[in-house]
Amino acid sequence: MGAELTVGGLECVFTGSVWAEGPVWVPSSQTVRWSDIPNDRILEFSPATGMTREYGQGVEFTNGRTLDADGTVVQCSHGRRRVERDRGGAVTGLVDSFQGCRLNSPNDVVIARDSSVWFTDPPYGILPGTKEGHEGEQEYGGCYVFRFEPVSGTLTAVITELVYPNGLAFSPDESVLYVTDTAGPARGVPLRIVAYDVLDGFCHRNGTSLELEEGQAADGLRVDVHGRIWTSAGEAVRVYSPSFDLLETFPIPERVSNVCFGGPDGQDLYITATTSLYRIRTTTRDAAAHS
Ligand code: MG
């Protein structure tokens, strides 16, 4: 099974972060860009040189990011409590409020083929004592998954029932949205990945979900061209079928936060895991529209 999904072993390509998150492959620079959230900086690894450099510091605690159709990076900022665009280092806000209230601390983001921007908004960057943002209030009183239309500026809450929605990814045809909930038993719900049918820009729970043990927590996740879900799973990356049959487990030496497909042909899986960035060569690539 493993030989079908990956080729060769796990490599560690960088160590030196506190909490690595939010990886994306940036085609224009042929680099993986990711966040070291507590150190408030953005890092970039070049597979061509094998070197990692600091892309930015004092970045207001960026977290998840994705690629837009024009090749620019769209990212979440805990500190600015917004989703923003990075165009060659020039950062501008896309959306920071819902019904007159500030967002909590946007965590992860994907962009659909219709250019709508979908993101999660748990409170990790505003909680008391946070090292991943600035303490603050949950102004609108929930933690929602939102859909933002950049042209009209319309922000819609598409999922309001999850406790701490976190990672998210579409199925290849964008008919299903997978969302992780990292709240867990301490807040009265299981750690879980929940699937929603997407219809006319809204989400409807379709009855499919996966409950996870403590230690297998799913944070960020991606979906490949065959619809398989590649997810963080504690100190592992797990691969599931679209209906959550476990296909493969890849142990990782540190707790994994997120993954992204990248590399020159898009078939390298980059894994952000606590202090390090890891890589596994796969036989597939991301299903997302712009990756
Ligand atoms: Mg996350």
pLDDT confidence of residue 1 = 45
Interval 56-78 mean pLDDT:
97
Residue whose pair of structure tokens reads 């665009």 in the numeric block? 85
pLDDT confidence of residue 289 = 65
Two structure tokens written together for 80: 């600015």
% of residues, the chain, pLDDT over 70? 98
Instruction: Kindly report, residue by residue over 195-207, the tens digit of the pLDDT.
Output: 999 998 889 988 8
In angstroms, what is the span from residue 22 Cα to ligand 1's centroid?
A: 7
Domains and CATH numbers, the chain: 6-290 (2.120.10.30)
Residue whose pair of structure tokens reads 């506190």 in the numeric block? 18
Quote the CA–CA distance of 99 and 140 in Å, as a whole number. Answer: 8
Q: What global pTM score does this model have?
A: 0.97
- DSSP code of 161? S
Interval 231-247 mean pLDDT:
97
* The pLDDT of residue 7 is above 60: yes
> What's the distance, Cα to Cα, between the start and end of the chain in Å?
25
- Which residue in 46, 48, 39 sits closest to 21, CA to CA? 39
CA quadruple 212, 123, 278, 239: dihedral sign = positive
In angstroms, what is the span from residue 63 Cα to ligand 1's centroid?
A: 7
pLDDT confidence of residue 206 = 86
In angstroms, what is the span from residue 264 Cα to ligand 1's centroid?
A: 25
Instruction: Kindly report, residue by residue over 134-187, the tens digit of the pLDDT.
Output: 999 999 999 999 999 999 999 999 999 999 999 999 999 999 999 999 999 999
Instruction: Kindly report, residue by residue over 108-137, the tens digit of the pLDDT.
Output: 999 999 999 999 999 999 999 999 999 999
Ion ligand 1 neighbours (CB, 5 A) are 107-108, 166, 219-220
In angstroms, what is the span from residue 5 Cα to ligand 1's centroid?
A: 24
Q: Residue 291 — very low, low, confident or very high, per pLDDT cuts 50/70/90?
A: low
* The pLDDT of residue 290 is above 80: no
Quote the CA–CA distance of 43 and 146 in Å, as a whole number. Answer: 27
Are 72 and 85 contacting, i.e. CB atoms less than 8 angstroms apart? yes
